[in-house]
A = this chain, B = another copy of it.
C-alpha cells in the first residue's frame, strides 16, 4: 500500500539528523511549498510508526518526536541535547538486564524504554569556543 504523502513525510525524516516533531515537519514541508495539511502529517507519521519505519519518543515537554532510523531492529538512541544529532546504539547488556530485573520480580511480557542524552563533540567544541 503506497501513499505519496506518506512517502514525502518519510523523506523529510530521512533528510534529518535527529528527531523531529510533527509540527516541525509540517512547517518545513509548507516552507518548501508542499501543499499538505497538518492533520495529514500526523496521520502519515502515525502510519510510519505503526509500520515500524519510524521511531517515536516523547520529549520532556510532552511533545512526540519522530525519526527514520537506519536499523529496523530494536535499538536505542544517544541524543545530543543541544543540536538533536542522534546516534543509533545497540545494547545487548541493557536488553539482558531489563529482562533479568523483570523476571527476578516475577513480571512477565517485559518491555523497556532506554534513552541516553549528552552533548555531542561539535556542540562541546562550540561551547568552549562560544
Contacts and interface: CB of A to CB of B under 8 A. Distances in A.
Interface of A: 58, 60, 62, 64, 78, 80-81, 87, 89, 91, 93-94, 97-98, 101-102, 105-121, 124
Counted per complex, copies of this chain come to 2
Given A113-B113, A116-B112, A106 B91 contact: no
B107 A80 contact: yes
6 contacts: A62-B62, A81-B109, A87-B105, A105-B120, A110-B118, A111-B118
B108 A97 contact: no
A111 B128 CA distance: 20
A121 B102 CA distance: 11
